[in-house]
Structure 1
Amino acid sequence: MSVMGEDALVPRARSRLPVMCAAGLGFLTLAVAWLLDSDKFSERAGIIAFGLMLERFIYCICLLAEELLFHSRQRYHGRMSEIFRACFRGSGILGMCAIFLMLMLGGVSFSVKQWSHFNLMCAGYMLLNSLGVLGPAPVEISEICEAKKMNVAHGLAWSFYIGYLKFLLPALEVNVREYSRRERLSSPRLHILLPLNARVPSKPEEEDTNVVFHENLPDLKLDRAGVRKRSYTNSVYKITHNNETFSCILEYATPLLTLYQMSQESSAGFGERERKQQVLLFYRTLSQILDNSLECRNRYRLILLNDEHTGDPHYLSRELFQNLKQQDGEIFMDPTNEVHPVPEEGPVGNCNGALQATFHEEPMSDEPTLMFSRPQSLRSEPVETTDYFNPSSAMKQN
C-alpha cells in the first residue's frame, strides 16, 4: 500500500547508471589516446589491458591462499572447484589468456623493460589494495548488499512476512467479520506503523493521547515451531481527530525493535544513520513482498511515520486519520465474495450463474437449400434490419 509522501523518503533501487558512465568515459578516453598517439595503439592498449588483468589475477591468488589454508573444510567441504569459483572469475582468466595469445600471435615480444613495468603495476596494486585505497566505496558495498538481499532489513522483512503476516492476515479477516457484527470498524485492514527512528513504544497512547485502546480481537491460536496453540492477538484502537472518532486494528512493526536495539549495541556496528536506512529498506522490501502476496493483498496498510514531528503531540492520530480518510475513497474487494452476473429480463435465462439465451430450434433438413439476399450497393451505409433494432419493422408486425 502506498503512503502519501513516501517518494521523498524511501530510496529507490540503484540503476546501472555508474556502469554506463564508466563505459562511456572508457571509450572516450580510448578515443583521446588514439588521437594523441595512434602509433601501435592496439599493441599498447593490449599490453596495458594484460597488465591490469594480471595484477587482479595475482591478488586473487592471495585470496585463494586464505581460503585454502583456513576455510576449505568449513566453508567448501574440501571441494577445490568451489574454492576456485569463489576466488577467481572465469571471464577474467579467459580474458587475460586471450589477450596474451593475441599479443603473441600479433608478433609482440615482451622485453625486460615491459616485464619490469608489469612488476611495478602489480606491486603498486597489491600495496594500495592492502592499505584499503582501492577498496570498494560505501556506495558499492550498499549496492552489492541490496542487490544480493544481504541487508539486515531484508532478513527482518522476510521473517516478519513468513513468520507472522502470511498466516495472520487471512485468518484476521474471519475475526474482523465476526467483530463487525456487533461493532463497526472504520477499516477492515491491519494498520502497521513503521516509525523512521525505529522507536517502538509499548503502547500507542504513549505517543498520542488521541489514540486509545478499545479491546482485543479473539485470539488466533496455531501450532508453531513446537509450541502448541500459540496465541496471536490483535488490538482495536479508537482514534479521535477534529471531534471525529474512528476505530481500526493497529500495531507497530515489531522487527523495528530489533533494529533499534542493534543500534544501541556497540558490537553490532550499527549507527543511527544506518538504522534509518535499514528502516527504509525494511519498508520497501516488506511493501514489495506484500504486494506480490495473494494471501495478504488488500488486507493491510503500511504507515511510514516520519520522525520530524517533534513538538506535535497528536501527530500519530493525524496520520491515522489521513490514512483512514484516504481508504474511504477506495473500493474494498473481498476475495471471498464472488461476483455473479445479473440475469437480464426477456428471453435470456440464468443457469448456475451463467447467462443462457433461448432460441426457437427448427429441425434441420437433410436437403441443401440456397439463401438469397437483396443486392445492396457497396457504398451504402450499413442499416440494422433485425426486428429488435428496427422500430419500423416492429410496427409493421404489430
Structure 2
Amino acid sequence: MSVNSSIPFDLQRIRSDFPTLQRQIHNGVPLIYLDSTATAQKPQSVLTAMDEYYRRSNANIHRGVHTLAEEATAAYEGARQSIAQFIGARTAREVIFVRNTTEAINLVAMTWGRTQLQTGDLVILTEMEHHSNLVPWQMLAAERGLRLEFIPVTDDGLLDLAVYQQLLEQGPKLVAFTHMSNVLGTINPAKEMIAAAHQAGALALVDGAQSVPHLPVDVRDLDADFLAFSAHKMVGPTGIGVLYGKEALLNAMPPFMGGGDMIKKVTLRTFAANTLPHKFEAGTPAIAEGIGFGAAVDYLKTVGMQAVEEHEQTIIRYALERFAEISGVTVIGPAAEHKGAVLAFTMQEAHPHDVAQLLDREGIAVRAGHHCAMPLHERFKLPATTRASFYLYNTIEEVDRLAEGVEKVKRMFA
C-alpha cells in the first residue's frame, strides 16, 4: 500500500512537545491517543505559559495599576490579539472570550436571536450538527415560535446543497452550520454556503470547533458573521473558547450577562454597557486559560496550519485505505477529499463501546457513543459509533496499530 509519508514538519519533535504522549499505560503499553476531536493534548509551551502566570503574575485583569495586574492584563489581552490574527479578524474587539463553543452559540441565540428573531422566522440548520448547535436554537424556537429546517445529509456524508438552495428561497434569518463534522469528518463548503446565505438575506453562524484546530480558517475570507470555537480542541486549555462576530453585529447586540467589567457606568436603577469586547465578558474571566489559549495559537502558528492540514490528510487517506481492508467494518462519512482526520466506524461483531474498551487495553484511546450528535446517528440508523480522531501529533504507525487492534477485536468476537 503506497503512502505519502513526506510531511512538511518534524513530527517526532512535535510529539516530544506533548508530555502526555510520552505515557505508558496498562503495564507499559505506549499510549496511542486518537481522541483529539473530543479534546487535544497540550504542548509544554501551553502548560508553561499558564504556570508562569500563576507563579509570577497572578492578579486580576483590567482593574489594577500595580505591576502584577498590568502583567496579567498584558498577557491576557496579548492572547486575544494573537487569536484575532490567527483567524483573520479585523480587530481584537471582534474576539469575545467565552467558556467554550457551546457558550458562544448560546450567546448568539440569547442576545442576537432574542432581539432579531420573531414568531415564524426561519433558522436553517443541518442534520450533522453537534448538540451545541441544535439545542440552543430548539430552546429559542420553543420560546419564540421559530421555524427550524434542516439541510439533509446524503448517504455518503455530504450536505444536500440542492435542498439548501430550496430552503434559502423561504427567506431565512439565520443559517447555522458546522464547518467540519465531529462524526463524519465532512468539511462543508463554508465560503459558498455563507455567500448563498447572504444572498438570501440571512446571517451565517459557523461552528468552527473542529475546523479551526485543523484547517486554515480566515473569517474575512469566509465572510462569516459569527464563528465559534474552543481552545481545548486546538492544543489549548479547557474552559475557554471564542465567539468571533463582526464588530457592527456585536455592537448592536445586548449584553449576555450582567456584572463586573461589562459595564461602563452603573447607578441603582440603570447601567451603561462597556465597549467591545468587555461588554460580553462579565466578571473575572479564566485568565490563566486565556493566556494558555494564546500560547496554543502561537504554537499552531509556528507549526503552520497548512502543514497541519496536509499531515492530517496523509493520515486520513491512509486510515481509510487500511480500514477498507477489514471486512465487517463500515466507516461512515465521505471520501478523503471531503473529509478531515476523523474516522467513525461500526463493526458487525461488536458494539462500539466494547470496541473502545478493548482497544484501550492495547493502549489506544478512542471514543464510543453518539458523540453529541444523536440526530445524525439516527439519520444513519446507528445507535453509536466508535470514533478515532487524529491530529498533528499522530503517525502512520499509530494508524497501523489501530487497524491491528480492530482486527484483534474482530477475531475475539468472531
TM-score grouping bracket, smaller chain normalisation: under 0.3
TM-score (norm 2): 0.23
Structure having greater relative contact order (Cα 8 Å, sep ≥ 6)? 2
> More helix per residue: 1 or 2?
1
TM-score (norm 1): 0.24
Larger radius of gyration: 1
